[in-house]
Amino acid sequence: MDAGDSSETRVSTNQSMDEIFHLQNSDNPGLVLVSAPLTGTNYLAWSRSMMIALRAKNKLGFINGSTEKPEEDSPTFDKWQRADSMVFSWILNAISKDVVEAFLYVTTAKELWEELKQRFGESNGPLLYQIKREISSFSQDNMSVGVYFTKLKKLWDELSCLRPFPTCTCGAAKTMIDIENGDKVIQFLMGLRDGYDHVRNQVLLMDPLPKINKAYSMVLSVEKQREIHGWITESSENVVLMAKNTFTRKDLMPNKSQKKGDLGKKEDRYCSYCNKSGHLKETCVKLHGYPEWFHELKQKKMNKPQAYMTTQMQDTPFDGDFLTDVPKRSENWANSVEFTTAVQQEVARYMKGKMSTDDNCANYAGFAGLFFT
């Protein structure tokens, strides 16, 4: 019975080791697992990203020591060495070119990881001081609530990674988590702009203080309401401006579709603004001013008599020289053969080029008869 249990355990162990040593077809030494390479100052974020990627590849044991190096005469040594070299290459590919040359001669992936930790991760004092100083002086300024909270949460996560809480199974762990959450809520509210005083007071009056995500949601809802209110106010101002600019001639003239009886008689209209009859307050030019079309119409009426006289002068059958000489010739027109000949020529020319109806012919026949009767 004991021998059977030992055999099953050995088979299970061999199967788990085969899964750890297994490499996918896409795995190659040039694979880059993280987007930002290690530069020395970003070790905290870089190491966490690398651990997540290696865990997804089922190769985390090669750097934390859980997958131990087998003996050289072991049948699994070659598989382990192959998988360890792959993890070693992935780590080197995630280090910047200015730093990677100092780690090329390390033998295993675990030794490489430990050396990186000793060189960039052991001196947490200055980094801890820098993070806590940024948290204490961090404020929203011109950032949105979402961007402000995201950057502040990143600092909190880095601080937790540098100084994690010890594992505890007693009730004190929950108390410590509640205290940490309260500190985060107060720090988040302290950094908000003055425009969020109302929601800040609401959160502080809650007992116990809400979770940090709940407090963030309350502040975010206030920001969204302000954005909607600002959009509605801006739209209303645009509508008022457009309505003001549409004051045209139709505002002072009655609608053509309305009948005259609908507006009442002119004598029945009275303006309460200028205290005169004949029009209403809605069409009072003293209140609203004269529209543009009024001045144009007035100018046209002033020019109409002059244009009419010019047209009548152009339509006369006598040319300009003849009319100019009329005063000089008036004394001899009655018995002058020259005058009679001139009139006949002008009438014939006008009748030939201008007359097109019988009425015009009759009129000018009468006109000619005035001179020859």
Domain total for the chain? Answer: 4
Query: What is the C-alpha separation between 98 and 84, in angstroms, rounded?
Result: 24
One domain, residues 276 and 329 = no
Residue 189, pLDDT score: 93
pTM: 0.48
One domain, residues 304 and 348 = no
Q: Is residue 292 domain-resident?
A: yes
Query: What is the C-alpha separation between 95 and 88, in angstroms, rounded?
Result: 11
Supply the Cα-derived Rg of the chain in whole angstroms.
51
Closest CA to 149 of 216, 215, 226, 224: 216
One domain, residues 329 and 288 = no
How many Cα atoms within 13 Å fall on the side-chain side of residue 96? Answer: 11
Query: What is the C-alpha separation between 158 and 132, in angstroms, rounded?
Result: 10
One domain, residues 165 and 218 = yes
Closest CA to 112 of 86, 92, 140, 136: 92
Query: What is the C-alpha separation between 279 and 285, in angstroms, rounded?
Result: 10
Residue 186, pLDDT score: 93
One domain, residues 44 and 102 = yes
Alpha-carbon distance values, 371 to 199, 326, 332, 336, 343 (Å): 105, 15, 14, 11, 8
Residue after which a domain boundary falls, among 122, 154, 175: 122
DSSP-derived secondary structure letter, 18: H
DSSP-derived secondary structure letter, 73: T
What tens digit of pLDDT does each residue of 222-239 get? 988 888 876 655 555 555
Q: Is residue 254 domain-resident?
A: no
Q: Report phi then psi at 334, rounded to 5.
A: -60, -40
Q: Is residue 203 domain-resident?
A: yes
Residue after which a domain boundary falls, among 122, 147, 162: 122
Q: Is residue 340 domain-resident?
A: yes
Contact (CB, 8 A) for 181 and 211: yes
One domain, residues 117 and 146 = no
**What is the chain's pLDDT, residue by residue, as a tens digit (373 residues)?**
444 444 444 434 554 777 888 888 888 989 999 988 998 778 888 988 999 999 999 999 999 988 888 888 888 889 999 999 999 999 999 999 888 888 888 999 999 999 998 888 766 777 788 888 999 899 998 899 999 999 999 899 888 877 777 777 777 778 888 888 999 999 999 999 888 989 999 999 998 899 999 999 999 999 888 888 766 555 555 555 565 555 444 454 555 444 444 445 556 677 877 877 777 877 787 777 777 777 777 777 776 555 444 444 444 444 444 444 544 544 554 445 565 666 667 667 766 665 444 444 444 444 444 444 4
One domain, residues 115 and 69 = yes
Q: Is residue 27 domain-resident?
A: yes
Structural domain span for residue 235 = 125-240
One domain, residues 65 and 144 = no
One domain, residues 154 and 201 = yes
One domain, residues 165 and 272 = no
What tens digit of pLDDT does each residue of 331-342 get? 554 445 565 666
Q: Is residue 100 domain-resident?
A: yes
Q: Is residue 251 domain-resident?
A: no
Q: Is residue 253 domain-resident?
A: no
One domain, residues 138 and 75 = no
One domain, residues 329 and 298 = no
